[in-house]
Chain A
Amino acid sequence: MKKVRLATVWLDGCSGCHMSLLDIDEAILAIAKRVDVVYGPLVDAQEFPKAVDVTLIEGAVSSQDDLEKVHTIRRWSKLVVALGDCAVTGNVPSMRNSHPARKMLERIYVEGVQTNRGVPVDGVPALLRQAVPVHEVIKVDLHIPGCPPAPASIAYALGELLEGRMPDLASKVKFG
């Protein structure tokens, strides 16, 4: 059987959702047999590949880099899954949204430190005005909320997707 091409992406999040993905116990063995992980923090690929079946996105869209990534992801992925509260609701990264990004950076990197004061600009992407959930930028096919989503929810959702069915997560998952 042809393997499902799976990508995972880590945007503005804490990697907890990826931890939860790895925490699905023996279910991971069955899933691993049926997928090729073609991109993500768990593998080496540098560029987002063309023709991906399922992409799991962890994290809010928070920087210029995130923004470009999600557009690339949408372009080359058949199914896009928002994994976890940051991708689904904005969650903790969006707590900066009531304040201007520049002010927040100055508060942290100028007022908040004694040495090496200055907002970092080299090698880091510019922040967007607000950190937003993925579906405010691109079409998302499935939302798996939770902080992090329960391993059982992830295992169930992946299992269904691999069977070619859209999982019904209504009332099985919660925010937070």
Chain B
Amino acid sequence: MPENISIRIDGEYVAAQEGQTILEVARAGGKYIPTLCWLAGISSVGACRLCIVEVSGVGRLLPACTTPVQDGMSVTTTSEKLTQYRRIAIEFLFSERNHVCAVCVSNNHCELQAMAQKLGVTSVRYPYAYPKLGVDVSHPRYVLDHNRCILCTRCVRVCTEVEGAHVWDVSGRGIRSMIVCDMNRPWAQASSCTNCGKCVQVCPTGALAEKGFAVDEMVKQDHNMTRLTARRGGHS
């Protein structure tokens, strides 16, 4: 049995169990911490840095989704400083690739766009990188547009952990990181792909989309994936 411990979140004492993450404990207690790369039912990687929180006695901000709770820990989930850093994280995501909401299939159904609005981002302070990136349209049913990818790796994780196919991976490092399938082949030639579409449904932006949708039309169904993992006995 995991040991019961007690931590403080925004000053309130909350019961927790050893092995849980700050995010799990906060969510269970009805506390909202913004997330983007996190998704119920798959592993957490702390890629987007939106769930950063302050932990007393720790000099740096920690991602709530990957930081395990410790007895006596005191966590702050909302502060001026956190809002500032969360905005910076969002603005970096926008400046790194070519996110043109107005012409995107996921416009108005996009988690990146919604999170920018929620955090009050009305412009991006950093110069846009305007990288030259490809669009893989080789798959008969789906599209991968690297311009809209935020490297959250939900596709990588869902394909490996839920579908068991491990088609997706990340190649390169830093700003040159790219989502690739089957050792960097066009999607249509990825022999390990089962065409299940889970990656498409969990993608928070328009980077992975079904073909045949116009601007505004791509509505993702990530709750199906979450329900599936819950039925298999995973945490939801």
Contact = CB atoms under 8 A, between A and B. Distances in A.
B22 interface: no
Given A92-B102, A95-B98, A176 B122 contact: no
Given A89-B94, A97-B130, A98-B132, A170 B120 contact: yes
Contacts of A97: 98, 128, 130
A79 to B, nearest CB: 15
Interface stretch (A1-9, A40-48, A108-116, A139-147): A139-147
Residue of B100, B104, B107, B122 with most partner-chain A CB within 10 A: B122
A88 B123 contact: yes
Contacts, number: 77
Interface of A: 82, 85, 88-92, 94-95, 97-99, 130, 132-133, 135-136, 140, 143-145, 147, 169-171, 173-176
The 4 closest A-B pairs by CB, nearest first: A176-B101, A170-B120, A147-B102, A98-B132
User: Size class of B's contact patch?
Assistant: 20 to 34
A174 B116 contact: yes
Contacts of B94: 89, 175
A174 B117 contact: yes
Given A88-B123, A135-B123, A145-B123, A174 B100 contact: no
Contacts of B122: 88, 143-145, 169-170, 173
A176 B113 contact: yes
B130 A147 contact: no
Interface of B: 94, 98-104, 107-108, 110, 113-114, 116-120, 122-125, 127-128, 130-133
Residue of B103, B116, B123 with most partner-chain A CB within 10 A: B123
23 contacts: A82-B123, A85-B101, A89-B94, A89-B128, A94-B100, A94-B128, A94-B130, A95-B103, A97-B128, A97-B130, A98-B98, A98-B131, A98-B132, A98-B133, A133-B124, A135-B123, A135-B125, A140-B123, A145-B123, A170-B120, A173-B122, A174-B113, A176-B108
Nearest to B123: A143
Contacts of A88: 122-123
Given A174-B113, A176-B107, A147 B101 contact: yes
A89 B123 contact: yes
Nearest to B83: A170
